[in-house]
Amino acid sequence: MNQPTRAGFIAIIGRPNAGKSTLMNAIIGAKLSIVSPKPQTTRKRILGIYSDNNLQVIFLDTPGIIKPKYELQKNMMGYVAESIHDADIIVPIIDITKFKGPENYFPDDIQEVLRKSAKPKILLINKVDTIFKKNEILPVLDGLNKLHIFDEIIPISALKSQNTDAFINTLQKYLPESPFYYDPDLLSTQPEKFFVSELIREAVLSDYREEVPYSTEIQITEFRERTKGKWYISADIIVERKTQKIIIIGAKGDKIKSLGEKARQSIELHLGRPVYLELFVKVRDKWRNNKSMLKNLGY
Ligand SMILES: Nc1nc2c(ncn2[C@@H]2O[C@H](COP(=O)(O)OP(=O)(O)OP(=O)(O)O)[C@@H](O)[C@H]2O)c(=O)[nH]1
Ligand SMILES: [Mg+2]
């Protein structure tokens, strides 16, 4: 007799830079979420679908939890709350290299959210590849166990895909019997335009420093097949100030040229076809605090 299928939604939550997006990409085996060493890389909720035999796990990758200062960050925290609400299982993830005790990593407000929820909670301790003495993990496990919040605690390395199989097996245990939600061939539901804008933002995150990546948003203005097989993509790089526009462009346009080159290569890899990419820089004063502008940008 065929085994019943299990399926459900998993909210991956945690501090910025904990490795949430790296984990989802590693499990799905595709770059769905952009990753960077800078915090606050993910700004929206990104769905990744893992299907295997009788199991379908729908991951919700979320922005890192912070105290919001801008409307943009308030919206980002809205995605976290929404994902916790929609999920069958909550998966908080912590970075062991930043762990300074459970209070510190799970401030009271987050602990309260987790405690209030009756859903299963599987905690992942990430980046254990950086730990050379394995017994260093034990006091961390002990401290976290004492919180009595988590049903399971699993050490992993998202970057090296260590122990991620154990994580999937554990998820299987807690997921409800359910038909699949999506076609098993599907990896995500975001439109291609979204991935393209994220890949441009990823190049901005890697090429610029300080406030610039945080003040930048990407808006795709054209996305169409122009000449045979070649795609024409036009995008606005939106910044908050004239000075940031000057930094993005660089002397004689050299910075934006190399940015465009880097972004084009990753877009071509993603789409699997040649691309002509054109970038324009636009100043939109305080867009991060402007509700209607944020709405326009898909937040
Ligand atoms: N050594 C090590 N580094 C990791 C691991 N997982 C993620 N990283 C690195 O940590 C950094 C942040 O990873 P992300 O996946 O972008 O983290 P995130 O939690 O999605 O961050 P936000 O989107 O900003 O909330 C990147 O430089 C990753 O390469 C891991 O298991 N080991
Ligand atoms: Mg992320």
Rounded to whole angstroms, the Cα distance separating 200 from 206 reads: 10
CA of 34 to the centre of ligand 2 (A): 7
pLDDT at 113: 87
**H-helix or E-strand spanning residue 54:** none
Mean pLDDT, range 207-218, rounded to an integer = 97
Determine which residue's CA is closest to atom 21 belonging to ligand 1: 17
**256 pLDDT above the threshold of 80:** yes
Residue 25, ligand 1, Cβ within 6 A: no
Residue 17, ligand 1, Cβ within 6 A: yes
Rounded to whole angstroms, the Cα distance separating 238 from 182 reads: 34
> Domain 6-174, what fold?
Rossmann fold (3.40.50)
> Domain 192-296, what fold?
GMP Synthetase; Chain A, domain 3 (3.30.300)
pLDDT at 203: 98
Domain with CATH 3.30.300.20 in the chain: 192-296
Rounded to whole angstroms, the Cα distance separating 158 from 26 reads: 7
Mean residue pLDDT of the chain comes to: 95
Determine which residue's CA is closest to atom 27 belonging to ligand 1: 37
pLDDT digits (tens, 9 = 90+) for 152-166: 999 999 999 999 999
pLDDT at 132: 85
- C-beta neighbour count of 175 within 10 angstroms: 20
Please, which pLDDT band fits residue 100 given cuts at 50, 70 and 90?
confident
pLDDT digits (tens, 9 = 90+) for 114-143: 999 999 999 999 999 999 888 889 989 999
For residues 60 and 10, the answer to whether their CB atoms sit within 8 Å is yes
For residues 236 and 280, the answer to whether their CB atoms sit within 8 Å is yes
For residues 255 and 247, the answer to whether their CB atoms sit within 8 Å is yes
Q: Which of 169, 157, 173 has its CA nearest to residue 93?
A: 157
Residue 39, ligand 1, Cβ within 6 A: yes
* Neighbouring-strand partners of residue 123: 153
Distances (CA, A) of 116 to 64, 65, 105, 119, 120: 20, 17, 18, 9, 11
- Ligand closest to Cα of 65 equals 1
Task: List all residues 6 or more positions away from 33 whose beta carbon is below 8 Å from its beta carbon.
Answer: 20, 21, 24, 25, 42, 46, 48, 61, 198
- C-beta neighbour count of 293 within 10 angstroms: 18
Residue 40, ligand 1, Cβ within 6 A: yes
pLDDT digits (tens, 9 = 90+) for 30-56: 999 999 999 999 999 999 999 999 999
**106 pLDDT above the threshold of 90:** no
**1 pLDDT above the threshold of 70:** no
CA of 199 to the centre of ligand 1 (A): 16
Rounded to whole angstroms, the Cα distance separating 124 from 25 reads: 15
Residue 73, ligand 1, Cβ within 6 A: no
Residue 41, ligand 1, Cβ within 6 A: yes
CA of 19 to the centre of ligand 2 (A): 7
Rounded to whole angstroms, the Cα distance separating 3 from 54 reads: 7
Rounded to whole angstroms, the Cα distance separating 266 from 105 reads: 34
Please, which pLDDT band fits residue 148 given cuts at 50, 70 and 90?
very high
**274 pLDDT above the threshold of 90:** yes
Residue 63, ligand 1, Cβ within 6 A: yes
Question: What is the number of the ligand 1 atom nearest to the C-alpha of 157?
Answer: 31
Domain with CATH 3.40.50.300 in the chain: 6-174
Least confident among 94-98, 102-106, 288-292: 102-106
pLDDT at 251: 95
pLDDT digits (tens, 9 = 90+) for 214-254: 999 999 999 998 877 789 999 999 999 999 999 999 999 99
CA of 103 to the centre of ligand 1 (A): 21
For residues 187 and 30, the answer to whether their CB atoms sit within 8 Å is yes
Rounded to whole angstroms, the Cα distance separating 194 from 253 reads: 26
* Neighbouring-strand partners of residue 175: none
